C-alpha cells in the first residue's frame, strides 16, 4: 500500500504520514532515537516488560502467600512502615536468591578469589542454568520450526519422551566405546523423536487430521509407553522395585563440560548447534524457503510447485527429531536412567520458550536460557528463602501470558506506537 514516488496514487493520507515519519528521525541524534525506540512498543520491549511484569506479579503472590508478611498488612494504616519493610525484605531476598542460583553468587566468587573455595562453587549457578536450558532450547526449536510452517505442534512432549526412551535403551542395551556410544545413543534419541513427529505429519498430509489433536494423543501414548517399558524385564533396574530403568553405561553419558561436580554437559553444545542449524535452515536453505512459504501461504506454495504434503511431513519429522534430541539429552546428560517423569514437562515448556522467543531460533535459545535460569534460581529460592518452586512455574506462565497478549503490556505500561521507520534507521546507524 505504501508506494512513495508513484504518480498514479490518489490523495490518500497514509503515504504522506509515512514520509513524515521517515523524515523526522533524521533530525534527532542517535541517543534520542534509541530512547524513543526503547519506549516504543517494539517486540524487544514488550518481551522485556513481560518478564518484568511477571516478576512483579510473582512478588505480589509471594507477599500474599507468606503469613508473616501478610500479617503486617493487617495494620498497614497504623504502621505502614512494617508492611513495606517486611514485603521488601521478603521479595528482595527471594529474588536475590533467584539471581544467585541462576547466574552468580558474589559470595562464592569472593571466596574463590581469596582461595577459600574451589572455582566449581562459583561456576555452579551458570552450570545449572545451562543444564536446564539445553533440553528446553531443543523442544522450543521443535515447536518453532513447526510453527513457522503454519503447524501448531503440541507434540514435543511425546517426541521428547520417545527420544529419551530410544536414547536410554541405546545407552544401556548396546555397549560401545565412548567416542561411538554417545553419538549412537543421541542418534537413537533423534530417530525416536522423528518417528513421533513423522506420524502426525503423515496423518495431516494424507488425511487432514489436525496436528493439535494427533500430537496431544501421541503424547499420551508416548507417556504410557514409557511407564510400561520402564518396568519390563531387561529394562527395569534389577536391584529396584520402583519404576526405574537400569542406568545408561558410562560410555553413553554426555561428557560434562567443566568438571565432574558441575552438571552442565554436551547438551548445551548440542542446543547451540541445533539453533545455528535451524537458523541456517530457515534463512538459507531451500527446504527452509519451502517451509516458510507453506507456513505463510500454502496456496501460493502449491501454485509455485511446492509439495505442501511433503513439506508438512518433513517439518513434523524434523520437529520431532529436535524434541527427541531434547529428551535424549535429559536422560543421557543428567538423569542417566528412565523414570516415568524423566523428561518432566520440557515439551510443554518448550512451547512457552518458543512463544517467548517469537519462534526465531536465536530468540528461542535466549528464552530457553531465561527459563533455565528461572529453574536453576528457583531451586535456590526454595531452599534458601522457603519460596515454593511452583512460584517459578507461575512466573513462567505469566511471562507467556504477557508475551501472548502484547496489548495488555502496552496498556499497562502505556507504550507509544512503534515507529516502524525508527527501528530501521537505528539498525543502519
* Nearer to another protein (CB atom), residue 20 or residue 390: 20
For 225, counting Cβ atoms within 10 Å of its Cβ (0-12 exposed, 13-18 middle, 19+ buried), the class is middle
CA gap 137, 78 in Å, rounded: 50
> Using CB under 8 A, which of the segments 167-175, 213-221, 289-297, 352-360 binds another protein?
289-297
26 lies in the site for another protein, by CB under 8 A: no
DSSP bridge partners of 64: none
Q: How far is the CB of 29 from another protein (least distance, A)?
A: 24
Whether the CB-CB separation of 309 and 151 falls below 8 Å is answered with no
**Segment near another protein (CB under 8 A); pick from 45-53, 224-232, 238-246, 282-290:** 282-290
CB count in 10 Å sphere of residue 154: 21
Q: How far is the CB of 287 from another protein (least distance, A)?
A: 8
Tell me which stretch binds another protein (CB under 8 A): 81-89, 204-212, 304-312, 339-347: 304-312
* Rg of the chain in Å (alpha carbons): 25
Span from 7-15, 97-105, 361-369, 409-417 in contact with another protein (CB under 8 A): 7-15
User: Can residue 208 be called a binding residue for another protein (CB under 8 A)?
Assistant: no
**Cα–Cα distance list, 30 to 33, 40, 243, 423, 428 (Å):** 5, 15, 61, 11, 11
Near another protein by CB under 8 A: residue from 120, 227, 307, 345: 307
Q: Which of 91, 4, 103, 7 is nearest to 55 (CA)?
A: 91
Cα(first)–Cα(last) distance of the chain, in Å?
Answer: 26
Would you say 12 or 405 has its CB closer to another protein?
A: 12
Cβ-based neighbours of 77, under 8 Å, separated by 6 or more: none
In three-state secondary structure terms, 280 is: helix
- Among residues 238, 305, 427, 429, which is the contact residue for another protein, using CB under 8 A? 305
Q: How far is the CB of 405 from another protein (least distance, A)?
A: 22
Of 68-76, 231-239, 244-252, 303-311, the segment contacting another protein by CB under 8 A is: 303-311
Binding-site size, another protein (CB under 8 A): 31
What are the residues binding another protein (CB under 8 A)?
1-6, 8-10, 12, 14, 283-289, 292-293, 296-297, 299-307
Amino acid at each position: 500500500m505504501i508506494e512513495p514516488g508513484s504518480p498514479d496514487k490518489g490523495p490518500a493520507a497514509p503515504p504522506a504520514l509515512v514520509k513524515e515519519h521517515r523524515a523526522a528521525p533524521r533530525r534527532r541524534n542517535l541517543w534520542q532515537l534509541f530512547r524513543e525506540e526503547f519506549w516504543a512498543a517494539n517486540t524487544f520491549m514488550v518481551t522485556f516488560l513481560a518478564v518484568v511484569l511477571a516478576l512483579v506479579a510473582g512478588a505480589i503472590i509471594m507477599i500474599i502467600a507468606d503469613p508473616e508478611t501478610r500479617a503486617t498488612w493487617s495494620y498497614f494504616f497504623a504502621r505502614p512502615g512494617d508492611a513495606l519493610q517486611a514485603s521488601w525484605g521478603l521479595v528482595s531476598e527471594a529474588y536475590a536468591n533467584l539471581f544467585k542460583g541462576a547466574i552468580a553468587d558474589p559470595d562464592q566468587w569472593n571466596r574463590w578469589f581469596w582461595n577459600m573455595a574451589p572455582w566449581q562453587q562459583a561456576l555452579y549457578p551458570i552450570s545449572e542454568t545451562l543444564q536446564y536450558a539445553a533440553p528446553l532450547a531443543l523442544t522450543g526449536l521443535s515447536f518453532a520450526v513447526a510453527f513457522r510452517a503454519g503447524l501448531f505442534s503440541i507434540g514435543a512432549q511425546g517426541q521428547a519422551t520417545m527420544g529419551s526412551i530410544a536414547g536410554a535403551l541405546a545407552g544401556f542395551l548396546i555397549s560401545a566405546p565412548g567416542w561411538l556410544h554417545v553419538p549412537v545413543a543421541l542418534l537413537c534419541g533423534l530417530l525416536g523423536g522423528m518417528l513421533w513427529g513423522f506420524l502426525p505429519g503423515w496423518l495431516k498430509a494424507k488425511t487432514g487430521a489436525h496436528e493439535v489433536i494427533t500430537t496431544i494423543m501421541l503424547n499420551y501414548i508416548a507417556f504410557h509407553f514409557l511407564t510400561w517399558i520402564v518396568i519390563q524385564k531387561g529394562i527395569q533396574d534389577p536391584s529396584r522395585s520402583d519404576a526405574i530403568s537400569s542406568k545408561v553405561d558410562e560410555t553413553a553419558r554426555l561428557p560434562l563440560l567443566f568438571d565432574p561436580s558441575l552438571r552442565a554437559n554436551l547438551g548445551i553444545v548440542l542446543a547451540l548447534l541445533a539453533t545455528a542449524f535451524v537458523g541456517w535452515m530457515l534463512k538459507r536453505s531451500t527446504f527452509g524457503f519451502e517451509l516458510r512459504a507453506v507456513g505463510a501461504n500454502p496456496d501460493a506454495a502449491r501454485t509455485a510447485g511446492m509439495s505442501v504434503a511433503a513439506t508438512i511431513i518433513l517439518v513434523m519429522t524434523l520437529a520431532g527429531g529436535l524434541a527427541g534430541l531434547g529428551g535424549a539429552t535429559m536422560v543421557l546428560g543428567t538423569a542417566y536412567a528412565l523414570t516415568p517423569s524423566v523428561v518432566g514437562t520440557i515439551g510443554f515448556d518448550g512451547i512457552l520458550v518458543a512463544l517467548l522467543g517469537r519462534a526465531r531460533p536465536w530468540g528461542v535459545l535466549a528464552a530457553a536460557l531465561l527459563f533455565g535460569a528461572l529453574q536453576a534460581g528457583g531451586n535456590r529460592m526454595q531452599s534458601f528463602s522457603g519460596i515454593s518452586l511452583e512460584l517459578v512455574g507461575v512466573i513462567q506462565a505469566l511471562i507467556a501470558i504477557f508475551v501472548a497478549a502484547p496489548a495488555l503490556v502496552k496498556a499497562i505500561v502505556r507504550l507509544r506506537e512503534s515507529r516502524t521507520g525508527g527501528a530501521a534507521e537505528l539498525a543502519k546507524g
